[in-house]
Structure formats: C-alpha cells, structure tokens
Amino acid sequence: MEFCPKCGTVMFPKGDCFECKNCGYTKEMTKESVSQYEVSEKVDAKESVIVTSDNIQTLPKTKVKCSKCGNNEAYWRLRQTRSADESETRFLRCTKCGHTWREYD
C-alpha cells in the first residue's frame, strides 16, 4: 500500500503512477512498488472490495493475553454477528502464534 508523503492518505493506482485523491500528489510506479500488489480482478470505483488474504498486519493491535501461548498482543477487528440492536463481536488473533478467539461486550 502506498501512502502520500504530503498528507498521509492512501494512494491509488492511476495509469502508470499512484495518485493521492486527497491532495493530488502523484508518484511514479516502479517495478518494486507494483510487484508487492496482487490484483485478481478490476472493480468499479463504487463497488466494495473485500480483502480475503491472511495478511492481517494492517489491522490494529491491542494488549491482551493469548490463552494459548501467553503473548500479550493481538490484532483485532469488529463484526456484527448478531442482530443490529446488539453489540458487535470482537475477533482477536495473537500476533505470535495466530490463535484466534472472540470476545463479546
């Protein structure tokens, strides 16, 4: 993922460069910057994109103890798994062993 050095916004591919939609900054694509991205299908800008890879290193982290290995840090994400009037389910994945568990509020 490329970030704009001026404003920090995520930059998107446009032609043969990356463009910041916030401030208009552009950066030329290089072989190295393009090779790290795998595009499986092109979608319209108004469509939702769902990332299905196991690369979760971009998720936020929290300090919580893993019951499997004792590590004190985990990635977390929220999902609405029950009805809309109930709180979300928090999924956690240990940064060390990958053990995944859920917490309810």
Half-sphere exposure of 51 (CA within 13 A, CB side): 10
Establish if 55 belongs to a structural domain. no
pTM: 0.46
What pLDDT digit, counting tens, does each position of 80-91 carry?
877 777 788 888
Is 97 annotated for ligand binding? yes
Name the residue range of residue 67's domain. 61-104
Are 39 and 66 contained in the same domain? Answer: no
Separation CA 77–CA 80 (nearest Å): 10
Could you tell me if residue 15 is left (phi over 0), alpha (psi between -120 and 50 degrees) or otherwise beta? Answer: left
Establish if 34 belongs to a structural domain. yes
Is 94 annotated for ligand binding? yes
Q: What is the pLDDT of residue 34?
A: 58
Query: What is the band of 40 on the pLDDT scale with cuts at 50, 70, 90?
Result: low
Q: Which residues are catalytic?
A: 85-86
How many Cβ atoms from other residues are within 10 Å of residue 64's Cβ? 16
Are 41 and 69 contained in the same domain? Answer: no
The answer to whether residues 93 and 56 touch, using CB atoms and an 8 Å cutoff, is yes
Establish if 95 belongs to a structural domain. yes
How many separate domains does the chain show?
2
